[in-house]
Amino acid sequence: MAATKTRTSSFSRNLPAASSAQSPEIKCGPNGTFFVSSGIPDLDKTLGGGIPLGSLVMVMEDSEAPHHMLLLRNFMSQGLVHKQPLLYASPSKDPRGFLGTLPSPSSPKDDKSRSHDAEQEKGLRIAWQYKKYFDNKQDFSNEFDLRRPLDRHFYTTQHVDCISTHDLPNLAPLQERCTSFLSHFPRSDSNIVCTGRIAIQSLCAPQCENSSMEWEMLSFIRALKSTVRSANAVAIITFPSSLVSPSFCKRWQHLADCLVSVKAIPDEDKELAKLLTGYQDIVGFLNIHKVSRINTQVPAVLEATTLSIKLQKRRYLVLECLNQAPIDGSGGTSYGTSGSCSGSSSKSGSLNF
Amino acid sequence: MADSICRTIRDGALEGEHAPSLTIKDTTASPYGFGVFTHVLSQASTLILAGKSQSRGLVVVAYSRSPSFYLDFLKRSGVDVASSQKWIHILDCYTDPLGWKHQLADSGILPSNSSAGACLFQDVKDINKLQSLILELGSGLVGQGKVRFSVAIDSVTEMLRHVPLSKVAALISDLRSHDQISSIFWLLHSDIHDVRVTTSLEYLSSMVASVESLNQSSDGLSGDLGNLSLLEQNFRRGKFHVRFKRRNGRVRVMNEQFHMEESGIKFTSVTVEDGLVSQGLVPKVLFNLELSEKEKLERARVVLPFEHQGNGKPIQIYDGRRSLAPESMGEVSADTSQSSTEECSNGGGEIIYFRDSDDERPDSDEDPDDDLDI
């Protein structure tokens, strides 16, 4: 992955070096960018360290599965755990109710999946002055336990704003709220004081009146993208891609800095069980189509663009590369996804970048 | 399978979750969606009466058939309609949806009549009123508390004639998230609408049942008129394809065949499953480590140019000018002899081939670098 090599060239920015040490939620990235965690450690690793500040992440939902909610929940919880202000918009009439379903960070004693770290520590005795580096590393990104709800004090005491897009006649109120929210995080050369997160769920949901205003939504996304880029914030928008007309869907995809899509998988499918190991634990697929590249023209070439979504012990969200048997190797580009899961009506969601 | 659908509707909604919702869709090629709808309706009614389902009442929003049709149908299916006021309410949007007859009756032109056992609804363009009436009728059946009821919408296609998609979608999603609704199902004629309408309604439903014709051609006339009787027979049959969205995010796909009869619709299971769906999901890997049968056969048949074929014949050296067909090889081997210096009919070219491996002396200790004179 490109981010593992840090190249020092003569064109490096003068960064305030102290910023990385003071706040664990921000990590320094290449090319003068800072990373924020997505809430899923595996996804952070695949994306090259996290989500760069100032990027717009778009998630293409599959109308047959709620996996985008897993991504949203982890993203929002991570922000709340790090005390980052959050703006949440959803098509339900009571968005605040959703906050009660956010997962809580898992405590280390339950977390057997990270047991290999514990084993390392048994053999090593780490000098006391270096322990702080280990602690910092853990805090950037947490593992979340989907079965334990987040403590209420996380979202009642701090700045969490919720909007319902259900009854909005157009998107102007949403745009105003986003702009005023982002004005609290201006980008400047001094240290980053705080960062904000915006999460917009199901932007084009059919029950909203504004869902047929495609040009308006497009201009809203464009405005949001430019405002986020000049602020110390990250925005995530999920949208059901099958409900947007194809030309607009392509436009939205191009507007995204980071584009992922989630897919449902058929249940009890013998073919898939033969092709994939661990099929029983997989609940869906995550495809990464685009990775944010800010301040650079070098494209990111990922090791794997399709990850499987697993729920370990039904609690922890884990993304893994697919272990599959080699199959008929005709065609297939590195960024292409072939048809979608809705086989009978042959809607193909193929993307070719 | 139809049974699984009915079981899911019977089980109803869990606390804090959306109610299960079913879209039944059909096309003109196989217009039996209404048969499926009435089947589900009669099954749900039987379960409600027997007390086996979570829901205790049923509200039917009737657009395409009159309420008396439904009552007759339920009677024919063996459901007890005598006590119908206690568990079923039919919202009549069929008789006078836009209120025209009412207006004419007011001006004295038409005699007014009212249908018993049904609630007449004359304002289909007002979706808020429809929603509140559904909820009112439902809670009238089951009371206010935690008891739930089911809703059946006869034809969302008809509803969409009067009301735009976003309002219909809002109605359905509000009903789904309402505390008192146990399940909701509706019928849609998918070929009348834009793709967007169908996909939006599928987005809102947790089960999608589609009725398809057996032969894939869009109209029944495939040009073979001699087979008309077979076509006619097949017209009453079709494929019933269901997709269930499960809670863990997986999709369960089931296939059945159905047969339309006088008494109703009958489902039979189908054994052939197609595994083509999965091929599209997993990214194709660009190397192939295995040979198919055909490829193995081909490999065995390749004539290696300078080596023996392992079949006892003398070594033939292929100089590129003869055909590779086995029978002509046989002839050629008769012509040419062991030594390739004999003149052949093709004009005197010859190939003398020594295997490189023959050159090697297996136990040589020589260091080839010794040959260098430096």
Per-residue pLDDT of A74-110, as tens digits, reads 999 999 988 889 999 999 888 888 998 899 988 765 4
CB contact under 8 A, B250 and A63: no
Q: What is the pTM of this model?
A: 0.75
Q: Which tokens in the block code for residue B208?
A: 């999608």
Q: A33-37, A65-69, B92-96, B345-349 — which is least confidently predicted? A: B345-349
Cα(B110)–Cα(A58) distance, integer angstroms = 59
Q: In chain B, whose CA is at the least distance from the CA of A70?
A: B249
Query: Which of the pair, B118 or A26, is modelled with greater confidence?
Result: A26
By mean pLDDT, which of A46-55, B15-24, B37-46, B312-321 is the weakest? B312-321
| Residue B222, helix vs strand vs coil | coil
Average pLDDT over residues B81-100: 86
Give the residue, B250 or A109, on which the prediction is more confident.
Answer: B250
Residues 20-79 of B with CB under 8 A from A: none
Q: Which candidate in A165, A207, A307, A313 is best for mutational testing of the B interface (most B CBs within 10 A)?
A: A207
pLDDT value for B3: 86
Indicate the pLDDT class of residue B284, thresholds 50, 70 and 90. Answer: low
Across chain A, mean pLDDT equals: 79
What three-state secondary structure class fits A345? coil
pLDDT, position B113: 60
Strands (E), chain A: 26-28, 34-36, 51-52, 56-61, 86-90, 103-105, 144-149, 160-164, 196-200, 233-240, 258-266, 282-290, 306-312, 316-321
| Cα–Cα–Cα angle for A311, A312, A315, rounded to 5 degrees | 75
- Contact: B283, A337; criterion CB under 8 Å: yes
B220, B28 contact by CB (below 8 A): no
Of the ranges A208-212, A348-352, B174-178, which one carries the lowest mean pLDDT score?
Answer: A348-352
Q: Is A312 on the interface with B (CB under 8 A)?
A: no
Considering A180-189, A246-255, B103-112, the range whose residues carry the highest mean pLDDT is: A246-255
Q: What pLDDT does B324 receive?
A: 52
Q: Could you tell me the pLDDT band of residue B287, with boundaries at 50, 70 and 90? A: low
Kindly indicate the confidence band of residue A252, based on its pLDDT and cuts at 50, 70 and 90: very high
**A311/B275 CB distance under 8 A:** no
Range B123-131 average pLDDT: 89
Give the pLDDT band of residue B95 (cuts 50, 70, 90). confident
Over residues B60-71, the mean pLDDT reads 91
The single-letter DSSP state of residue A186 is B
Residue with the bigger pLDDT between A156 and B25: it is B25
The pLDDT assigned to B24 comes to 94
- Is the pLDDT reported for residue A33 higher than 80? yes
- Cα radius of gyration rounded to whole Å, chain A: 20
Query: Distance between CA atoms of A61 and A65, rounded to whole angstroms?
Result: 8
Average pLDDT of the residues in B326-349: 44
Q: Chain A contact for B202, CB < 8 A?
A: yes
Instruction: Give the model's pLDDT for residue B268.
Output: 83
Count Cα atoms within 13 angstroms, Cβ side, for A91.
Answer: 24
The distance of Cα A245 from the centroid of its chain, to the nearest Å, equals 24
Phi and psi angles of residue B85, each rounded to the nearest 5 degrees, phi first:
-65, -20
User: The complex's ipTM?
Assistant: 0.78
What's residue B223's pLDDT?
A: 53
Mean pLDDT is lowest, of A176-185, A186-195, A255-264, for A186-195
CB A312 within 8 A of CB A113: yes
Residues A51, A52, A53, A56, CA torsion sign: negative
* Min Cα separation A74/chain B (Å): 17
What was the pLDDT predicted at B200? 93
pLDDT for position A233? 93
Average pLDDT of the segment spanning A227-245: 93
CB pair distance less than 8 Å for A268 and B252: yes
Residue B102 at interface with chain A, using a CB cutoff of 8 Å: no
Q: Which two tokens stand for residue A167?
A: 């009854």
Q: B33 CA to chain A: closest CA distance, Å?
A: 16
Test A341 with B277 for CB contact under 8 angstroms.
yes
What share of chain A has pLDDT > 70, as a percent?
A: 76
What pLDDT, in 10s, does the model give residues B184-227? 999 999 999 999 999 999 999 999 999 988 765 545 455 555 56
Measure the CA–CA gap between A153 and A100, rounded to whole angstroms.
11
**Partner-chain residue, chosen from A207, A276, A340, that has the shortest CB–CB distance to B173:** A207
- Contact call for B283 and A336, based on CB within 8 A: yes
- Tell if the CB–CB gap between A342 and B288 is shorter than 8 Å: no
Looking at the complex, does the CB of residue A323 fall below 8 Å from at least one CB of chain B? no
B165, B253, B285: residue with CB nearest A326: B285
CA nearest to A239 within chain B: B203
Nearest to B250 among A266, A306, A338 (CB): A266
What's the pLDDT at B266? 83
pLDDT classification of A277: cutoffs 50, 70, 90: confident
* The token pair that represents A341 in the structure block: 């899961």
Distance from CA of B294 to the nearest CA of A (A): 14
A326–B241 CB contact, under 8 Å:
no
Measure CB to CB from residue A328 to each of B204, B250, B288 and give the nearest one: B288
